[in-house]
Amino acid sequence: MHSKTPRLDDIHGIPARARKMNPLNVGPNERVVSAALGGGLVAWGIWRRGALGLLAGAVGGALVHRGVRGYCPAYAAFGISSRKAPKPTPMPLLETEKLTRIERTVTVARPAAEVYAFLRDPSHVPHFAPHVEGVEDLGEGRIRVWTVLNGERSSWEAHIDLDHEARAIVLGHAEGPPERLAILLGDAPGGRGTEIRLVLELSKTRGLLLRALAAVAGADPDAWAHAGLRRLKMLLEAGEIVTAGVWGHHPARPGGAPDRQPTGSPPAGSSP
């Protein structure tokens, strides 16, 4: 029996989306000092006039802004904070430099141990991951992933790191760019099951390229992550990936790889 899985945010840091929304990094005392000092500088600038006055006004204005908002871009650039509030723990598993990070989280009403057991078997991946056609286990923690995108078949080799303690699965290229895909698990509160966070780290260039492609060809990695997690949730909770099917005049579902039903019996919930 596994021990209780800790909360997702405690182990892996708060999600990027939440960090962006709440970027305070200046402590309360410093904010007051910053705003007061800035106000003083602005007043002095108005009194002094001339080039020096203008400069003082600009610097003062920036200090006031910093104090009022509680956010300092210079601090952010150096990754420091004078705020005592719990600092977001950087995700320990992955590098954050020069990468485009995509995160999506979903809650599945199944226990973490069960979800982890399902996910650590690479042969389950094609059942829910968009565009993944097959996964070949090469042994020694290495796999080959076959993907089909717009009719084009390609494959890449990856190494898998499993962290049994934190119930994290990290996939990285065996060769090539330091890009990674991580699946991180944590307990949802109140016995609501498992929070599953998918983190995709792409090189900045590839991230930009894919986002540009997303606009024209629908190859949006964020949409993949979202869709993949939804399908995973359906599979784990309901025991199948629900489809409306093809009927009437509709030649095919838009954006649709054909729906696959797993042949094995995934750990679905028991009948109510």
Partner 1 sequence: MQALCYQGVNRVGVETVPDPELLGPHDAILRVTMSSVCGSDLHLLDGYVPTMRHGDIIGHEFIGEVIEVATEVKKIRPGMRVVVDSIIGCGHCFFCQSEQYSLCDNTNPEPEFTDKLYGYPTAGIYGYSHAFGGFAGSHATYVRVPFADTNAFEVPEGLPDERVLFASDALPTGYMGADLCNIQPGDVVAVWGCGGVGQMAILSAYLLGAERVIAIDRFPERLAMARDRAGAEILDYEQVDVREALREMTGGRGPDACIDCVGMEAHGTGIDYAYDRVKQAVRLETDRPTVLRQAILACRKGGTVSIMGVYGGFVDKFPMGAAMNKGLTLKMGQQHGQRYIPRLLEHIRKGELDPSYLITHRARLADGQQAYDTFKEKRDGCMRVVFTPEA
Please state the closest distance from residue 192 (CB atom) to partner 1, in A.
6
* Element containing residue 74 per DSSP (H, E): helix 73-78
Site string for partner 1, 193-232 (x = CB under 8 A): x------------------------------------x--
**CB closer to partner 1 out of 86 and 251:** 251
Residues 148-187 as x/- pattern, contact with partner 1 by CB under 8 A: ----------------------------------------
Site string for partner 1, 29-68 (x = CB under 8 A): ----------------------------------------
**Residue 100, helix vs strand vs coil:** strand
53 CA to centre of own chain? 46
| SS3 assignment, position 174 | coil
CA 169/CA 195 separation, integer angstroms: 14
Smallest distance, partner 1 to C-beta of residue 23, A:
24
Residue 198's nearest CA partner among 206, 186, 208 is 186
Which one-letter amino acid corresponds to residue 72?
C
DSSP for residue 261: -
The least distance separating partner 1 from the CB of residue 131, rounded to whole angstroms, comes to 17
CB 87 within 8 A of CB 108: no
Q: Does 271 bind partner 1 (CB under 8 A)?
A: yes
Q: Are 105 and 196 in contact (CB under 8 A)?
A: yes
Of residues 142 and 253, the one with the C-beta less far from partner 1: 253
Query: What is the contact mask toward partner 1 in residues 226 to 265, using x (rule: CB under 8 A)?
Result: ----x--xx--xxxxxxxxx-xxxx--x-----x-x----
Q: How far is the CB of 145 from partner 1 (least distance, A)?
A: 25
Strand order through the sheet with 180-187: 99-108, 194-203, 180-187, 168-173, 152-163, 142-149, 132-139
Q: What residues line the site for partner 1 (CB under 8 A)?
A: 107, 109, 192-193, 230, 233-234, 237-245, 247-250, 253, 259, 261, 268-269, 271-272
